[in-house]
Structure formats: structure tokens, C-alpha cells
Homo-oligomer: A and B are copies of this chain.
Amino acid sequence: MTNNQTSKWFDEYHKGVRYGLQGEILIDLKSEYQQITVFNSRRYGRALLLNGCWMTAELQEKNYHECLVHPALSSALQIKKGLIIGGGDGGTARECLRYQDIEQLDLVEIDEKVIEISQKYLPIIGGSAWKDPRLKINIQDGIEWTENTKENTYDFIIVDGSDPAGPAEGLFNESFFRNCKRSLRAGGIFAMQSESPESFLTIHLDTVRTIRKVFKYADPLYGWVPMYPSGWWSWTFAAMEGAHYLKPLPQRVDAISQDCKIWSAQWQKGAFQAIPAFIERALKASN
């Protein structure tokens, strides 16, 4: 303990653990769906919290967004038309729009306030995405959106939601995954943040198992987001014809790698392989 204790801290509490950043609250409001807070942290710049949980921060967001986007977009057969469910901070859209092949990117966010606050207080995270004519913002429930999407509409679908409590709960259900699969074109890839294998073990395993059941081919990949519970995070990728998310296309890799903080084709290969023994055993047992 140090005398830093007297400074201002904002902590996220999770099962007897807390992770706190020093700084001050910039804005704190309640939207129709959740509590939205922007915090100016000394260490990671401005950060967004939803219902008191750290979602992203200017100097930490690439650890999350690159790992969610690039394994999918570097390897899908084509990437002309894509869908993001959630992702109201704009970081996922920004990473997607780095690919010139994209012609249309639908972003479906349930909470307009998240977009509004992110654009105003965290403009760096969405960056040029907000002004990109390829981005179509839809304020709607992502579950409803996929229910109403026609077959074979998207080349990729990325689910960038929060923990399965509150508005994101239905994003972890089999019926939602089935609608995503139906909406996906041949050669398409589905990508989803799939929680911490440490702090949300059951949800993590259930998510991987359910996605695998629906899509047939699905694998988790492991990385680090220090501000999330345990710092240890996962993203799960799925495809219908084979595990082609394991094989990034060299041309896209070349176009993207240089400006990545975490992601590279080598990193991706390792991150899929680095499945901890206890997770590997648990997933094998359920096959």
C-alpha cells in the first residue's frame, strides 16, 4: 500500500478482485440501457466504462480491436460487405475499414448514447471510421437485426459486445449464432469476443462450444487486455467450410501488418495454438 491511496481511483470489482485506474471522471450518465462513464486515466488516456466495467481506453484499445478484427478480415474469402454488432466506440469499425476491399460495413449498436459519447470524448478510438462513407450506423438491437437479415448477406460478422449481462446477454445464445450463420456468405467468417478463460471460464467454454456446434469450425484465440478481468482475454472465430480463419491471406497481411501494435500473422498463429491445457481438456471433453 502506498500513499497513492489518497488519490482518485476508479475500480472495477469482480469476484474478490479489483482493477483500478488513477484519474478523474469526465462524464457519467445513464442511458436507456446502461450507465456510461468516461474516465480520464493517468496511464491509458481516456477510458470508457459501461455499468462500471472497463470497456476500452485510448492506449489499450488495440490489444482488443486488432485481435477481434484481423484474424477474421485477413482470412475471409472476400470482405466486401461486413457487419459489426455492438462496437459503439468505433474501434472495431476503424480496424475493419483499413482494408480497402470493404465496400459496406454495417454497424448495429443498440445504445445510441455509446456512439455519441465515444464520438465526443474518445474520438481517437473511432478515428476516421466515423466519417468513412462505407460505414452505415444503425441504432438497433443486434439480435433483431440478424433475425431480419437475408441469407448470404455478409462476408464477415463481428460481435463486439460487452459481458453477457444486460443488453449483450442475447449475443451469447445459440439462436443468435444460427442467425449469424444464415446471414454469412460462403467463405465468410464469424468473429466474437469470448470473454476471459480465467475470470469467466464457464461463459468462455459455453461460448466456444455453442459457436462450434453452430458453425462446425470454430476456435478460440488468446491475448491480453490488461484492463479486463484477469487481463487474459479470448476471441473466437468460426467458419462453415473449414478452419480458414487459421490461414491469413498474404496480400492482406502485407497491407495491414505494418501499422499493427499486437497483430501479425505470426502472432495470430501462436495465439490460436497457445490454448491453456485446462481449456484444451475441457473443450475436448465436450466434443
Is A1 interfacial (CB-CB < 8 Å)?
A: yes
Provide the bound-state CA to CA distance between A273 and B286, in Å: 27
In whole angstroms, what is the CA distance A42 to B14 when docked?
11
Closest to A224 in B: B232
Bound CA span A269–B277, Å? 13
Q: Hey, what's the 0/1 contact readout for A1-39 against B, CB within 8 Å counting as 1?
A: 110110001110101111111110000000000000000
Question: Which of B4, B18, B270 meets A270, CB within 8 Å?
Answer: B270
A201 to chain B, nearest CB (A): 12
Contact of A224 among B11, B17, B198 (CB under 8 A): B198
Q: How far is the CB of A23 from chain B (nearest CB, A)?
A: 7
What residues on B are CB-neighbors of A257 within 8 Å? 277
Q: Shortest CB–CB separation between residue A261 and chain B, in angstroms?
A: 5
Residue contact A43 to B20, C-beta cutoff 8 Å: no
In the complex the two chains form, is A17's CB within 8 Å of B20's CB?
Answer: yes
Rounded to whole Å, the gap between the CB of A109 and the closest CB of chain B is 25
- How far apart are the CA atoms of A15 and B4 in the complex, in Å? 10
* Contact in complex: B274, A270 (CB < 8 Å): yes
Q: Report Cα–Cα, A261/B257, bound state, in Å.
A: 33
Chain A stretch 236-287: residues in CB contact (< 8 A) with chain B: 257, 260-264, 266-267, 269-278, 280
Q: Which chain B residues border A226 with CB–CB below 8 Å?
A: 17, 198-199, 230-232
Q: Are B277 and A261 in contact (CB under 8 A)?
A: yes
A52 at the interface (CB under 8 A from B): yes
In the complex, the answer to whether B16 meets A18 with C-beta atoms within 8 Å is no
A222 contacts across to B, CB distance below 8 A: 274
- Provide the residues of chain B in CB contact with A198, threshold 8 Å: 224, 226
Bound complex: CA A190 to CA B243 (Å): 37
CA distance A171 to B264 in the complex (A): 32
Given the known inter-chain contacts A231-B231, A276-B267, please indicate yes or no for A15 contacting B43, CB distance below 8 A: yes
Asked whether any CB of chain B lies closer than 8 Å to the CB of A41, the reply is: yes
| Closest beta carbon of chain B to A66's beta carbon, Å | 8
- Distance A270 CA – B274 CA, assembled complex (angstroms): 4
Please, which residues of chain B bring their CB within 8 A of the CB of A280? 264, 266-267
Q: How far is the CA of A43 from the CA of B18 in the complex (A)?
A: 11
Contact check: which of B11, B17, B43, B223 meets A16 at CB < 8 Å?
Answer: B43
A sample of 21 cross-chain residue pairs with beta-carbon separation below 8 angstroms, ordered by A number, consists of A4-B13, A4-B18, A16-B21, A16-B23, A18-B18, A18-B19, A18-B20, A19-B20, A198-B224, A199-B226, A223-B274, A230-B231, A231-B231, A257-B277, A262-B277, A264-B277, A266-B275, A267-B276, A269-B274, A270-B273, A271-B274
